[in-house]
Amino acid sequence: MPIASYIVTVLMGYLLGSIPTGFLVAKARGVDIRKLGSGNIGATNVFRILGTPAGIFVLFADALKGWIAVAVVASWTAHWLLPSSGTLAREWLAICGGLAAVLGHNFTCWLHFKGGKGIATSAGVLLALVPWALVIILSIWILVFAFTRYVSLASICASAALPFATWFTTGSPTLTGITGAMGALAIYKHKANIQRLLNGTESRLSPKKRSTTEPNQTS
């Protein structure tokens, strides 16, 4: 049942990724995160609006969605639906599960297909698929953020470096192409941030807790 295994993996990966963690955490506090700050449901906006503990929780929960989609969902479907599959088939199941989770986060069906930017969920996927490449781009993210305090710029730089880090650590054309597509999608989702960076209006992340009524234009 090769086709069925891919369909099940993609469907389960998408539904897992589509869980709007940031929205649900904010809703539990009586806040609609989509109407505050940048309007984004991702961890960065949660950090600004609800503070550090909530932001950290959303960050790790979103990353966990991506990791589970690859390490658990894809492995489960390979074991039960493709028990005699080879390494290549299992690799593609993992890729499909991971990509579906990222798309689920970015375009969640529960919020009219409007979601986050997929950085944390992508990190979870990369942790399962290409962990050493993740170490490299995470180092780049930390360095850029430390010098600029721009989450968006750090994410864009890390995304741009992702396919090169994948090629350097794996030498796999398939994984390099897939992670290149993931990086391109992440950069595309930051198009509004790129415009604000060019205009000099992008805000830096502050560790200080923000009021839920304070406007903010970053994401």
User: How many residues in total does the chain contain?
Assistant: 219
Q: Is residue 216 assigned to a domain?
A: no
Q: Is residue 165 assigned to a domain?
A: yes
Q: For residue 24, count CB atoms less than 10 angstroms from its CB and return exposed for 0-12, middle for 13-18, buried for 19 or more.
A: middle
| 188, two tokens | 């595309």
Q: Is residue 120 assigned to a domain?
A: yes
Q: Is residue 206 assigned to a domain?
A: no
pLDDT for 207 equals 53
Q: Is residue 219 assigned to a domain?
A: no
pTM of the model: 0.90
pLDDT for 216 equals 39
Q: What angle do CA 120, 126, 128 make, to 5 degrees?
A: 115
Q: Which residues contact 94 (CB under 8 A, 6 or more apart)?
A: 70, 74, 75, 128, 129
- Residue 37 scores a pLDDT above 70: yes
Question: How would residue 217 be classed by pLDDT, with cut points 50, 70 and 90?
Answer: very low
- Per-residue pLDDT tens digits for 96-117: 999 999 999 999 999 999 999 9
Q: How far apart are CA 188 and CA 44, in angstroms?
A: 17
Looking up tokens 């088939």, which residue turns up? 89
In percent, the amount of the chain with pLDDT more than 90 equals 82
Name the domain count of the chain. Answer: 1
- Per-residue pLDDT tens digits for 118-171: 999 999 999 999 999 999 999 999 999 999 999 999 999 999 999 999 999 999
Domain of 95 in residue numbering reads as 2-199
pLDDT for 211 equals 45
Sequential DSSP letters for 47-96: HHHH-HHHHHHHHHHHHHHHHHIIIIIIHHHHHHH-TT--HHHHHHHHHH
